[in-house]
Structure 1
Amino acid sequence: MASRLLLSFLLFLLISIATSSPPLLSNLKEKQTHLHFFFHDIVSGRNATAVPVTKPAAGAHPQSFFGMIAVMDDPLTDGPDRNSTLLGRAQGLYAATDQEEASLLMTMNLAFTAGKYNGSVLSVLGRNQPLHPVREMPIVGGSGLFRFARGYALARTHWFDLTTGDATVEYNVHVIHY
């Protein structure tokens, strides 16, 4: 009898929890945030911030770099000068995934280390065609002040050195979060 009563109580509790609205988002207000910063991808020299871990595939189209994968820990700054105020780091990897033209699969965390968003992260996963004037990549999540984030990042090459492969890219990020 006691076990039947306990089972009935547990079943009632489980049904109550399953049918109630999620308390996590019910009291939170959705926010929209615009972020503007510069991404510095340095692949040359002793202080490289992006390191290739594979070379392009043998016989790959010369403009595609197909098969190349690089790991990055690139600084994010408030201005185009690499010595401007450090806002955080772009940490992740990019892989050349198109056999015909330069096109990268970007998977990176934008980890902020300064200001209001210190300790917060935005996650980006998408296609980046670096030779196009503007690229759009999705924001697929976040943490800290960017919990439940979704949105997009627009990337524009600010500076690119054909000899070294080093680049500075301007980012405008629009994100909705709680």
Structure 2
Amino acid sequence: MIVRGCWWSEASCGGARCSVAVGVEVLAELGNVGESRGSELWCFGVVGDATYTISRTGVEKMSHLHFFFQDIVSGKRPTAVQIASPNHRYGSNFGDMFMADDPLTVRADRRSKIIGRAQGVYGFASQENVALLMAINYVFTKGKYNGSSITIIGRNPPMQKVREMPIVGGTGLFRFARGYALAHTVWSNPQGDASVEYHVYVHHY
């Protein structure tokens, strides 16, 4: 058993001296590597001769999500459009910004089943090479995670075979989310359209 996160405070409680521990988290390891951990949050205190205890339990899980990000910037109905473009006299895309509402599909084929949308912004953030800043919500619209989302904010150098980006939060079933995403481009064309495979590993309750 591991105990972490104890913060003590003292206050005057109606003339009595009050000592309260807030945020004492007890983690019970469940066994082998890869299994979930039980998590129990205890808050307890003493007011005079009275003692009270409140507990909230939950289980932290890790989910593996696999889908394809379809970024379409060409044609009559693009799913990502340019919203800012600075003076390009230096011969680079540095500063270009795009707003995206890209479909998330179950296979690399963009005509395959759509299970969500990638909604947010990305921009060219490097002056010397190709690297994007991604600030995107991945909103799921089908299956178990319908209505839930994860948020990725990080650096994405698209010329690398595999890119890693952090998960910084989520909603719905992904509240308190943390983890990482691995992105791999499986198809692209000269117009800038691309199909990107994602493997996402996310811890949540």
Q: TM-score normalised by the shorter chain: which range applies?
A: 0.7 to 0.9
Residue 176 of structure 1: aligned partner: 203
Cα deviations by residue, 1:112-152 (Å, 9 ceiling, x for unpaired): 00000000000000000111111000000001000111000
> 1:61·1:99 contact (CA, 8 Å) conserved in 2?
no
How much identity, in percent, do the aligned residues show? 51
Residue 151 of structure 1: aligned partner: 179
Residue 141 of structure 1: aligned partner: 169
Q: Give every structure 1 segment of 4 or more consecutive aligned residues whose post-TM-superposition deviation is greater than 6 Å.
A: 10-13
> 1:61·1:101 contact (CA, 8 Å) conserved in 2?
no
Residue 3 of structure 2: aligned partner: none
Is 1:28 aligned with 2:58? yes
Is 1:132 aligned with 2:151? no
Structure 2 counterparts to residues 57-68 of structure 1, below 5 A:
57-62=87-92, 65-68=93-96
Alignment RMSD (CA, Å):
2.2
Q: Which runs of 5+ in 1 are unaligned?
A: 1-6
Q: Return the letter of the residue paired with 1:38.
A: F
> 1:57·1:68 contact (CA, 8 Å) conserved in 2?
no
Residue 4 of structure 1: aligned partner: none
The whole-number CA distance in structure 2 between the counterparts of 1:11 and 1:132 is: 63
State the number of aligned residues: 167
Q: 1:66 to 1:176 in 2, by over 3 A?
A: same
The whole-number CA distance in structure 2 between the counterparts of 1:43 and 1:168 is: 12
The whole-number CA distance in structure 1 between the counterparts of 2:16 and 2:154 is: 43
Per residue, is there more helix in 1 or in 2?
1
> 1:94·1:105 contact (CA, 8 Å) conserved in 2?
yes
Per residue, is there more strand in 1 or in 2?
2
Q: Return the letter of the residue paired with 1:19.
A: V
Bigger CA drift: 31-40 or 50-59?
Answer: 50-59
The whole-number CA distance in structure 1 between the counterparts of 2:15 and 2:109 is: 61
The whole-number CA distance in structure 2 between the counterparts of 1:154 and 1:68 is: 24
Greater gyration radius = 2
Cα deviations by residue, 1:69-113 (Å, 9 ceiling, x for unpaired): 000000000001111111100000001010111100000000000
Q: Which runs of 5+ in 2 are unaligned?
A: 1-11, 25-40, 43-54
Quote how far apart the aligned CAs of 1:160 are.
0.5
Is 1:121 aligned with 2:149? yes
**Higher RCO (Cα < 8 Å, 6 or more apart):** 1
Q: 1:68 to 1:10 in 2, by over 3 A?
A: farther
| 3-state SS of paired residue (2:173) | helix
| 3-state SS of paired residue (1:145) | helix
